[in-house]
Structure 1
Amino acid sequence: MTEPDDRHENQEPEANAPPEEQPLPEAPLATRATAPKPELPVIVLRDMVVYPGVTMPMEIGRAETLSAIQAAAEHPERTFFALLQREKSEEIDPLGLHTIGVVARVVQLQHGLRGTQAVVVGLHRGIVLRIDEGDEHIVATVSPAQELLPVDPKDLAFVALDEELRNRAAELGARSGIPNDVITKTLRAVTDSGRLADLVAGHLELPASDHQSLLETLGVEERMRRVLTLVQRRIKVLDAQEDINTQVQEELGDRQREMYLREQLKAIRKELGDDDGADDLEELKARVDDLELPAAARKEVEREFRRLERMGRESMESQVIRTYIETVCELPWSELSEERLDLADAARILDEDHYGLDDVKDRILEFLAVRVMHDRRARRDESQAVEETGTADDESGRSPILLFAGPPGVGKTSIAKSIARAMGREYVRVSLGGARDEADIRGHRRTYVGSMPGRILHGMKQAGVKNPVFLLDEVDKLGASLQGDPSAALLEVLDPAQNSAFIAHY
């Protein structure tokens, strides 16, 4: 027998034999998925988001949150899962929570009279695989979320994006009051671009929904671009606020300075025994406020009053301004005579005061009859606004101006007084005989020494109402001089289309 051939023991393996399994290379740390951590306690957030790598304080208010944070503090790794509610509510509903949150660690837990406060730090993003309601708090099974890293971290565009985000974050931090050395130290300590975006986002004042949207952005480059846009927008908001604050401070500075000087002026006047002027100004101011002035007139009067407040009583110009304001206060801006238009009563009054003059009386009664018809038509017109009925100076109540001509002593002046008595209005007579200056009608400008309002305003002030029967007597005795022709100034006074807007020089 021959010996068995054992050469096969040293033979090499056949070509068809499968090769021995080699271990796979270890995945990079940034993309490696670790095994899911079972049943982490869940802390439900209402108006804040925890970012990975960001340390932040947290106030514990709800009983479920307190139970979850205590369970996390007793865990060896002191970890929990932070989730944001979809809608802010006191009740915790597992179906009303987002699915992406952050696995965080409890750094410090402190109980006090004001409640429980904790300091936590985010570790990494997580995705909920399963969520259950425990006896005292919610627990969830979480899988780490994988970030989408840039294809080439050394790409020039990505490097420029990283530098721009760091520069804008440093600018925002400096304008927010953070010391420059703290900003520089913090930014240098963060080398990962994704963690840089999370760090900057964690310090932005945004709604909770916007923070959650950034948290759910797994692409690093996209998240950096979104954070950079938000930072630049915040810087623009700060620019606008600084401009507004500068303007407000300038206005407040001027007002505070004026108030301070006024208080000093009051104290000086009190020491000099001259504090009665302040009471006079307050009384004058109250009179101005009570007037029913048109917008243009009120603007002018208030401007002059502010000038008067800044001047001393001994100033000559202050006396001019005070006289002007007092004259304005004495004019009848809203006072009216209660008019009565009764043709039979008017005819009786005319007959009592004058004998004869039938043609004159008939013409006056025609004039009054036209006004009666006009007033009745105005009352029937419901589309018009509320108007002062019977006012000759109203644009809607225009009426012709009566002219009485005749030799002296025939009753021209007395018939005008009878018309006023028949209509129930105040009567004002202004004699223009011998007037040679236009200022007699329009008044002098206040720049002249001893300036006064004209005879028209003086007559209105004398009447006390703004709808008197106004008689311009002795018109034919007007004169002319180098100072002007007063008859030319009467054109505006005697024109029914213009006299309601008569403006005096004074």
Structure 2
Amino acid sequence: MKRKDKELRELIGTTDEENSFSVITNFEGGITEGEQTIEINPNDKLPILPLRNMVLFPGVFVPVSVGRKSSLRLVREAEKKDTLIAVVCQKSAQVEDPVYEDLHPVGTVGKIVRILDMPDNTTTVIVHGMKRVELKEITDIHPYMLGTLEVLNDEMPSQEDKEFMVLVEACKDLTIRFIKISDSLHQDSAFAIKNITNPFVLLNFICTNLPLKKDEKIELLHINSLQQRAYHLLEILNKEVQLAEIKMSIQMRAREDIDQQQREYFLQQQIKTIQDELGGGGQEHE
């Protein structure tokens, strides 16, 4: 157990949060038997974990930094009891004690995989997203939020559907292109994308990890059809790649302008030095 904790800490703690995917995933599958058949009774009350900015998708393992006392108690009890939790995103990250109106109602039910007490005295929780849900009602707020949920079933196309598989490959290619030309993700992130073979996991992995607007991720999570989610993701990726290419072009032109100015300045300084030396040498000779 200690060895696994150490490996997880190294995996999370050594990545640059500004430039890398902060996600662990099962490259070959990600959907175990039972994930697609989760049943939640309408009267069941599940713990609700509100996140300030992160949107969790099914099939993805996400490290989440937990700071609120209520959230810490929630995750520790959920891990101890091995119970499901619902992860939802806040509409505004500034709200400290959110109520129903402060939350996006569509979220993801999942399980706590591991709780890690990090060296900087923060707590990181590994959450496994399993199934999309809609939050119907908040029933309790102490000691932490509890609520009733409705399971949202994904409409899964056949992996023999050629149009769907072309969509998935297009999303993969554009994501890798974005990683190569963008400075917002580490270049090694492309390795993860190339090695995920499950289309469901791949699309949700991209949705979770790419630096998209929070509202765009919420829109993607709302879509029941995986094929339609792929279409919408492709539209977003096209836009992001175009913007990244424009940014790269501007940076290259600015760099060339600066290089030219530096070359001209260097030549001017050389000419000035030569002139000073020639002038100084003539006076000494006299």
Deviation digits for residues 35-59 of structure 1, max 9, x if unmatched?
4494332211222211222233322
- Is the 2:57–2:108 contact (alpha carbons within 8 Å) kept by the matching residues of 1? yes
Give the structure 1 partner of residue 88 of structure 2: 83
Q: How does 1:75-474 map to 2 (within 5 A)?
A: 75-77=81-83, 79-88=84-93, 89-106=95-112, 107-113=114-120, 115-150=122-157, 153-176=159-182, 177-179=186-188, 182-183=191-192, 185-188=194-197, 191=198, 193-262=199-268
Q: Among residues 41, 46, 71, which one is paired with 1:40 in the alignment?
A: 46
- Is the 2:181–2:245 contact (alpha carbons within 8 Å) kept by the matching residues of 1? no
Match of 1:257, SS state, is: helix
Label 1:40 to 1:261 Cα distance change in 2 as closer, same or farther (>3 A): farther
In 1: Cα distance, 2:272 partner to 2:115 partner: 59
CA-CA distance at 1:217 after TM superposition: 0.9
Give the structure 2 partner of residue 350 of structure 1: none
- Is the 1:131–1:140 contact (alpha carbons within 8 Å) kept by the matching residues of 2? yes
Match of 2:249, SS state, is: helix
Match of 1:69, SS state, is: helix
Amino acid of the structure 2 residue aligned with 1:207: K
Label 1:133 to 1:184 Cα distance change in 2 as closer, same or farther (>3 A): closer
Label 1:116 to 1:153 Cα distance change in 2 as closer, same or farther (>3 A): closer
Amino acid of the structure 1 residue aligned with 2:156: L
CA-CA distance at 1:111 after TM superposition: 4.4
Amino acid of the structure 1 residue aligned with 2:91: R
Label 1:76 to 1:31 Cα distance change in 2 as closer, same or farther (>3 A): closer
Give the structure 2 partner of residue 364 of structure 1: none
CA-CA distance at 1:202 after TM superposition: 1.3
Larger radius of gyration: 1
- Is the 1:47–1:207 contact (alpha carbons within 8 Å) kept by the matching residues of 2? no
CA-CA distance at 1:265 after TM superposition: 5.6
Label 1:219 to 1:263 Cα distance change in 2 as closer, same or farther (>3 A): same
| Same amino acid, percent of matched pairs | 22
In 2: Cα distance, 1:129 partner to 1:105 partner: 20
Extract unaligned runs of 5+ from structure 1. Answer: 1-27, 275-506
Taking structure 1 as the reference length, what is the TM-score of the superposition? 0.43
In 2: Cα distance, 1:186 partner to 1:54 partner: 14
Deviation digits for residues 194-221 of structure 1, max 9, x if unmatched?
3322111112222212111111111111
In 2: Cα distance, 1:208 partner to 1:180 partner: 20
Deviation digits for residues 416-450 of structure 1, max 9, x if unmatched?
xxxxxxxxxxxxxxxxxxxxxxxxxxxxxxxxxxx
Deviation digits for residues 54-99 of structure 1, max 9, x if unmatched?
233322233333332333333325x422111234423311332222
CA-CA distance at 1:263 after TM superposition: 5.0
Match of 1:187, SS state, is: coil
In 2: Cα distance, 1:92 partner to 1:60 partner: 15
Give the structure 1 partner of residue 3 of structure 2: none
Deviation digits for residues 12-31 of structure 1, max 9, x if unmatched?
xxxxxxxxxxxxxxxx9686
- Is the 1:33–1:146 contact (alpha carbons within 8 Å) kept by the matching residues of 2? no
- Is the 2:85–2:109 contact (alpha carbons within 8 Å) kept by the matching residues of 1? yes
CA-CA distance at 1:184 after TM superposition: 5.8
Label 1:134 to 1:112 Cα distance change in 2 as closer, same or farther (>3 A): farther
Match of 2:187, SS state, is: coil
Amino acid of the structure 2 residue aligned with 1:86: K
Match of 2:88, SS state, is: strand
- Is the 1:108–1:120 contact (alpha carbons within 8 Å) kept by the matching residues of 2? no
Q: How does 1:15-34 map to 2 (within 5 A)?
A: 32-34=37-39
- Is the 2:176–2:190 contact (alpha carbons within 8 Å) kept by the matching residues of 1? no
In 1: Cα distance, 2:51 partner to 2:278 partner: 67
Extract unaligned runs of 5+ from structure 2. Answer: 1-32, 281-286
Match of 1:124, SS state, is: strand
Label 1:146 to 1:118 Cα distance change in 2 as closer, same or farther (>3 A): same
Taking structure 2 as the reference length, what is the TM-score of the superposition? 0.71
Label 1:245 to 1:114 Cα distance change in 2 as closer, same or farther (>3 A): farther
